[in-house]
């Protein structure tokens, strides 16, 4: 356990070093219609971002001489769009070798060269939740990323300080991959439930053994051995501790109810249902549990277990008090999530703010980052998108997208080919890399000896 804690501290030290180098911008956006999400819509208003944070929202703001000034007269400014279910910046996302693979982490395999990141920026999306796939009942850990296009370092994609999340899956995917495909548990929906219960029971025992050891190891005369470290159980134990948010692939109402019952039995409260196509059937129960829902606007019937849904799903969940978002699960749909949100005004009569919350503040809550993003408020991150025409209009077109106050997309500067190419002739400063490595190892040695 001590080695595990030390390893995390080392990673945190390295991460802080990387994040300290992340670009922060200064920009003054003037004369726009500003959609704050939490404090109404303001006409002819400025937004000032300094050192990557929103420093002011008001009329006739002034900025330092270092600020980039953008005249947004006649245009709309809103928080950067957040996609709570994405697979961009990833390649193969399923570790389909076991029904439980909590030990794997997509953050180990982020691809900063994926041009889908730039395309998402062109759609006003500044943050996405890059997720493990849904082959496993308990899949791998996910990564919340900021779309800092142009970096060649995957660490710079990570959203610093974002809570840990993990992917679960119900229904046909785990039963098909494991039962039908590999003749191992689970073969049925009943079997999926038992995978959860067994994993949680084993993790609970593991957690109790470590708690007992840590409570007694420094007592005089105690000769107990530390339990064997197991990364898979450690991750699931962190779910029991409340340190990881579960995002669960789901379709059918019966399975949604089942998972909430399992979580109640083990005292797990942090739960976001993904897809949740039959959520409208059990919306009061989801709200009572305190779970959240990330849905498609109008996708269903693409396989048997999801033949029954409705375009009113997001509105019904919202009106029942469920924190709801609309996601893409697609490298294409991510580019026009604002259109997907607008559909809820036809199917459910949601207000402008309610509809826009589905792609801003609500997904931020589901990822545990709403204290930093999802609305335009002083002190929050400078993740902003400028639109020509209202974002919920069919004629809406993103013009500029900023992450941490840095402009990463400008429709007037858009090039035909925005892919990043590796230069095989580029010289690498080996001595600098060696020095950074030696600093890291020196700090690791300090942690181990102190």
**Is 385's pLDDT higher than 80?**
yes
Q: Decide if 80 contacts 402 (C-beta within 8 A).
A: yes
What is the dihedral angle through the alpha carbons of 336, 340, 345, 347, rounded to the nearest 10 degrees? Answer: 160
pLDDT at 6 over 60: no
Report, as an integer, the average pLDDT of 10-28.
65
Report pLDDT for 432: 59
User: pTM score > 0.75 for this model?
Assistant: yes
CA 252, 357, 143, 86 dihedral sign is positive
Say what percent of the chain tops pLDDT 90: 87
Strand order in the sheet with 125-130: 81-86, 125-130, 143-146
Percent of all residues in the chain with a pLDDT value above 70, rounded to a whole number: 90
Residue 1 above 70 pLDDT? Answer: no
CATH code at 2-449: 3.20.20.140
| Structure confidence at residue 396 (pLDDT) | 98
Q: What's residue 434's pLDDT?
A: 53
Q: Supply 28's token pair.
A: 């003054």
Q: How confident is the model over 390-437, as pLDDT tens digits?
A: 999 999 999 999 999 999 999 999 999 999 887 788 776 765 555 655
State pLDDT tens for residues 301-345. 999 999 999 999 999 999 999 999 999 999 999 999 999 999 999
> Do 68 and 91 contact (CB within 8 A), yes or no?
no
Q: What is the pLDDT of residue 35?
A: 98
Judge whether 4 and 228 are in contact, CB under 8 Å: no
The Cα angle at residue 311 between residues 375 and 86, in degrees rounded to 5: 50
Q: Angle at CA 315, nearest 5°, toward 314 and 319?
A: 120
The answer to whether the CB of 338 falls within 8 A of the CB of 347 is no
Residue 103 structure tokens: 């030990």
Residue range 75-99, pLDDT digits in tens: 999 999 999 999 999 999 999 999 9
Q: Which residues, listed in sequence order, are joined to residue 409 by a DSSP beta bridge?
A: 401
Per-residue pLDDT band at 57 (split at 50, 70, 90): very high
Output the pLDDT for position 5: 46
Residue 188 has pLDDT above 70, yes or no: yes
What are the DSSP calls for 98-160, one per residue? Answer: SSB-TT-BGGGG--TT-THHHHHHHTTEEEEEE---SSSSEEEE-EEEE--TT-S-GGGGB-T
- CA–CA distance, 17 with 112 (Å, rounded to integer): 19
* pLDDT at residue 13 greater than cutoff 50: no
- Specify the DSSP element, H or E, that contains 190: helix 189-216
pLDDT at 8: 47
Residue 15 scores a pLDDT above 50: no
First-to-last alpha carbon distance for the chain, in angstroms, is 16
Contacts of residue 43, defined as CB under 8 A and 6 or more positions apart, other chains included, come to 33
What would the two tokens of residue 372 be?
A: 């930093």
- Burial of 119-148, coded b for 16+ CB within 10 Å and e otherwise, reads bbbbbbbbbbbbbbbbbbbbbbbbbbbbbb
């Amino acid at each position: 356990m001590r080695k595990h804690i030390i390893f995390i501290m080392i990673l945190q030290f390295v991460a802080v070093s990387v994040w300290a180098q992340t670009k922060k911008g200064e920009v003054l956006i003037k004369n726009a219609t500003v959609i704050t999400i939490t404090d109404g819509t303001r006409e002819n208003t400025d937004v000032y971002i300094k050192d990557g944070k929103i420093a002011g929202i008001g009329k006739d703001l002034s900025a330092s001489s270092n600020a980039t000034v953008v005249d947004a007269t006649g245009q709309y400014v809103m928080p950067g769009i957040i996609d709570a279910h994405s697979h961009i910046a990833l390649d193969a996302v399923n570790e389909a070798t076991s029904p439980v693979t909590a030990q794997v982490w997509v953050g180990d395999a982020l691809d900063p060269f994926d041009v889908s990141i730039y395309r998402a920026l062109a759609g006003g999306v500044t943050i996405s939740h890059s997720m493990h796939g849904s082959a496993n009942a308990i899949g791998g850990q996910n990564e919340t990323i900021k779309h800092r296009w142009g970096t060649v370092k995957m660490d710079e994609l990570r959203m610093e300080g974002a809570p840990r999340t993990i992917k679960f899956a119900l229904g046909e995917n785990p039963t098909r991959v494991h039962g039908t495909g590999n003749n191992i548990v689970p073969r049925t929906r009943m079997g999926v439930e038992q995978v959860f219960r067994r994993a949680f029971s084993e993790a609970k025992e593991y957690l109790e053994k470590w708690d007992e050891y840590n409570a007694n190891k420094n007592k005089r005369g105690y000769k107990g051995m530390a339990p064997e470290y197991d990364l898979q159980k450690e991750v699931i134990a962190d779910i029991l501790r409340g340190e990881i948010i579960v995002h669960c692939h789901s379709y059918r109402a019966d399975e949604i109810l089942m998972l909430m019952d399992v979580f109640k039995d083990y005292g797990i409260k942090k739960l976001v249902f993904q897809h949740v196509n039959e959520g409208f059937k059990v919306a009061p129960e989801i709200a009572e549990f305190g779970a959240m829902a990330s849905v498609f606007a109008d996708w269903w019937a693409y396989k048997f277990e999801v033949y029954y849904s409705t375009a009113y799903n997001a509105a019904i969940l919202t009106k029942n008090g469920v924190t709801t978002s609309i996601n893409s699960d697609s490298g294409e749909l991510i580019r026009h999530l604002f259109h997907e949100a607008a559909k809820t005004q036809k199917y459910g009569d949601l207000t402008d703010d309610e509809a826009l919350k589905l792609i801003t503040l609500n997904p931020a809550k589901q990822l545990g980052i709403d204290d930093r993003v999802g609305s335009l408020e002083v002190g929050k991150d400078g993740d902003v998108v400028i639109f020509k025409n209202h974002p919920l209009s069919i004629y809406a077109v993103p013009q500029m997208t900023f992450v941490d106050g840095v402009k990463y997309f400008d429709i007037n500067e858009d090039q035909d080919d925005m892919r990043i190419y590796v230069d095989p002739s580029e010289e690498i400063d080996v001595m600098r890399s060696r020095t950074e490595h030696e600093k890291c190892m020196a700090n690791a040695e300090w942690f181990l000896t102190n």
